[in-house]
Amino acid sequence: MHKSLLSASLFALALAAPLAYAHEAGDILVRAGAITVNPKADSSSVKVDQGPLAGADLGGKATMSSDTQLGLNFAYMIDSHWGIELLAATPFEHDVKLKNTALGAANGKLGTLKHLPPTLSVVYYPLDSKSAFQPYVGAGINYTWIYDEHVGSEAQANGFSNFKADNSWGMAFQVGADYMITDNIMLNAQVRYIDIDTTATVENNAVAPGTRAKVDVDVDPFIYMVGLGYKF
């Protein structure tokens, strides 16, 4: 008798339990977590483009450090398979270094810069509503706003000043997955590749008055994020 009642109760709970985990049309998803930008930073050689030494090729390369910040995703589901997503984050800060240039004083840390990488993507969830595991892929467009560039103290002592880097537009691609802990709370992990290209310039009047050098940098970072999300 007790076993029959227990079985009936479990069956009733199973019927009452939600059968669908998928994101549905009109759902709003908010995710937050640690996000790391890891630049590939493949650059041209450093060239003098202004001043009496214009045209000189100093060789070398530019590199950028990684940084981890608070990442935020906001997504709106068009239907159970398609959504529109915005990536945001607190500002990233990167050290910019030059190495192997012909001008020995230029090698080492040039300075730092900050950037914000808002990215708008269309995302696709292939699985049906019975799966608590919801992988997805996405593609979209990124605008990287670079600001607060400044020369480091050692580079300043060697005559460098007026460090600047251009903003960037580029394509963005991602793979990720949500795991639904409840109907509303999820674990999330995602990996992105973003096409970010910039041209950086810096002046050095100690070498010769009016001297400016530039370098083209394919930042092209891989971006990793893990965190929690909530479905409204």
Which residue ranges form the domains of the chain, and what is each CATH number? 20-39+64-155+168-195+220-231 (2.40.160.20)
Neighbours of 43 (CB within 10 A): 20
Residues of the chain with pLDDT under 50: 1-3, 5-19
pLDDT at residue 11 in the model: 44
pLDDT recorded at residue 67: 97
10 Å CB burial of residue 26 (0-12, 13-18, 19+) is: exposed
Q: Please, what is the average pLDDT of the chain? A: 87
Q: How far apart are CA 213 and CA 107, in angstroms?
A: 13
In this prediction, residue 21 carries a pLDDT of 67
Q: How far apart are CA 133 and CA 218, in angstroms?
A: 35
Residues 124-161 have pLDDT tens digits of 999 987 789 999 999 999 999 999 999 988 888 888 88
Q: What is residue 10's predicted lDDT score, i.e. its pLDDT? A: 41
Counting beta carbons within 10 angstroms of the beta carbon of residue 24, is it exposed (0 to 12), middle (13 to 18) or buried (19 or more)? exposed
Is-above-0.85 flag for pTM?
no
Return the percentage of the chain with pLDDT > 70, whole number. 90
User: What pLDDT was estimated at residue 115?
Assistant: 96
DSSP 157-191: HTTEEEEEE--EEEEEEEEEEEEESSSSEEEEEEE
